[in-house]
Structure 1
């Protein structure tokens, strides 16, 4: 029966697959193409010590993304992902909202700036932030290693 409590509780796996899969993929890409997605991108944004932060963020995304995918230590694993998304919104999206560089972070050339440009540019970051926060509050769900460790369906 669609909408039954167990079905709804089990649907959290869809959020886990999205959040974990995207972070895992993004972390791997920071190593496969560091000039475009890792340290090079961090340098273009204006993040200090990009050679450190590019691989560090990539490693966290890989490890935490994999943990979220399988539902292991999910509530803990999403905490650094929330921090990464807040950092991304601050460093790359806040300048779009304001229409000017802020805190030394570069402003990309876009057709427009302001609220609607910010909403458009931020849609993935906001979805990942809210998905991560959702997993923090509700946990990994019944189809997870966390549930198996607890010996019951959570």
Structure 2
């Protein structure tokens, strides 16, 4: 039950709003434009079982994004999002860094490859990863269901 508790930081709502809105939006797009953002994209990247994984990842993004927006089970909701972001970085940005595809993951065509291109292309992924890790550490904050239902933890 300790993982359901949170601190009373009021600024956490800003991170929850950004992370929640981005993941809900991205998840919905995997259903609405499956060829562009979901199964079709997953197939082009080289992710196995693209149809299943496209809808599974999209569903997890919507569900966990909504939980984070509500501040309900925030830490638990952050875990799948962290895994999704690490997977995205590994499968799509690492090939850009290396300048070549590997293990069946394809390299998309860009003007430049290497560190600067990989950092540029991964800015959203890194921001969402950092936001999700932040929420895993802190919990939902002051304006959250977690605080109302489960209370606060003692920090430090």
Q: TM-score, normalised by structure 1?
A: 0.92
Does the 8 Å CA contact 1:68/1:77 hold for their aligned counterparts? yes
Does the 8 Å CA contact 1:147/1:153 hold for their aligned counterparts? no
Q: Determine the structure 2 residue equivalent to 1:74.
A: 74
* In 2, Cα distance between equivalents of 1:30 and 1:123: 20
Highest relative contact order (Cα 8 Å, sep 6+), 1 or 2?
2
- Aligned structure 1 segments of 4 or more residues deviating by more than 6 angstroms: none
Note the 1:7-46 alignment, pairs <5 A: 9-46=9-46
Count of paired positions = 147
Q: Which consecutive residues of structure 1, in runs of 5 or more, have no partner in the other structure? A: 1-7
CA deviation after TM superposition for structure 1 residue 153, in Å: 9.2
Note the 1:1-154 alignment, pairs <5 A: 9-151=9-151
* In 2, Cα distance between equivalents of 1:47 and 1:61: 17
Cα RMSD for the two superposed structures: 1.5
* In 2, Cα distance between equivalents of 1:152 and 1:56: 32
